[in-house]
Every structure is written in C-alpha cells, then in structure tokens.
Amino acid sequence: LDEIMYSATRSIEDVRNLSHALRPIHLEKFGLTDAISDLCNQLQQSSSMEWSYHIDDINELIPKDKQINFYRVVQEAVNNILKHSLASEASVIVRVSDESIQTVIWDNGSGFIRSSIKNSEGLGFLGMKERMETLNGKMTIDSLPGEGTTIKINIPLK
C-alpha cells in the first residue's frame, strides 16, 4: 500500500510539473513581459555567458491565449544559444513601436550555415516559425559560421 501511495503521489507531482512546463507559472501570475524578463534574469544568474536584455511592456499587446507562443519562441531561441552557440555574449531585446512588436535575439557565437542543420535539429526552428504564424508574425534567422546568430521577430499590432 505504501508503494502505491508513493507512486500515486509521484505521478501527481509529475503531472503538476508537466502542466507548469506547458504553461509557465510566471506567465500565468505576472504576464508575458515579466515572464520573459524572469527568463532573461535567470540566464544572467546561471550562465557564464554575458546576457543583456530589455523588454518593453507587451502584456496587453498579445492576446492572453497566444502569449505562450511568443514566450516559447523566445525560450527556444535562448535555449539554442545555450546549447549550440559557444557564445560569450547574448541579448534579448523586445521593443514596441506604433505598428509592431520587434524582437531581436542575438549572440556572438559560432553561427551556422542554415542548410547544414539536420531535420531533427531544425524542428526547433520550424516550431518557432509555426508559433509566429499564430501571431501573424514574421521571423528571420541570420547566421554565418564564426559570426554568431541574429533572430529577428516582427509582430504587427494591427
């Protein structure tokens, strides 16, 4: 009986952790702007890389049901920097203009040739593009070996 109770408790914890991973608690509680700022702040504190960031207030500009898509794109981009770039510096900038939300995610790392990405590794980029489409946004990725990578995102406000 103890084993069953332990297993059930563990399963409940696993489901809770999974649901938080699917919809980050910081996003739910504090909104998109703070969730991205918190992600960047965690990177500053836990990485040997030098991170800089500036996030304009975008909480009311992206519908609540689509904010997770923008958050996941930023999260995937910074995870790619951590995993693949060998960079010493990186930044996340989110700016609001009258017409759009403009985001630039940059690193000074090793860069890559886009065509050299294997299909399985390219799924992250494909997912990012698909998420941007739900926001009517456009995403471009500029990278060259030895010159780092720049991801530019433009989401129209009208």
25: containing domain: 1-30
Which CATH number characterizes residue 104's domain?
3.30.565.10
Query: pLDDT per position in the chain (158 positions), as tens?
Result: 677 667 656 655 544 444 445 567 889 889 999 999 999 999 988 888 999 999 999 999 999 999 999 999 999 999 999 988 999 999 999 999 999 999 999 999 999 887 766 554 566 888 999 999 999 999 999 999 999 999 999 999 97
> 148 and 76, same structural domain?
yes
The one-letter code for the residue type at 83 is K
Beta strands 89-96; 100-107: pairing state: antiparallel
Q: Which two tokens stand for residue 116?
A: 């050299």
> 108 and 122, same structural domain?
yes
Residue 128: phi, psi to the nearest 5? -65, -45
> 44 and 26, same structural domain?
no
pTM of the model: 0.82
Half-sphere exposure of 37 (CA within 13 A, CB side): 12
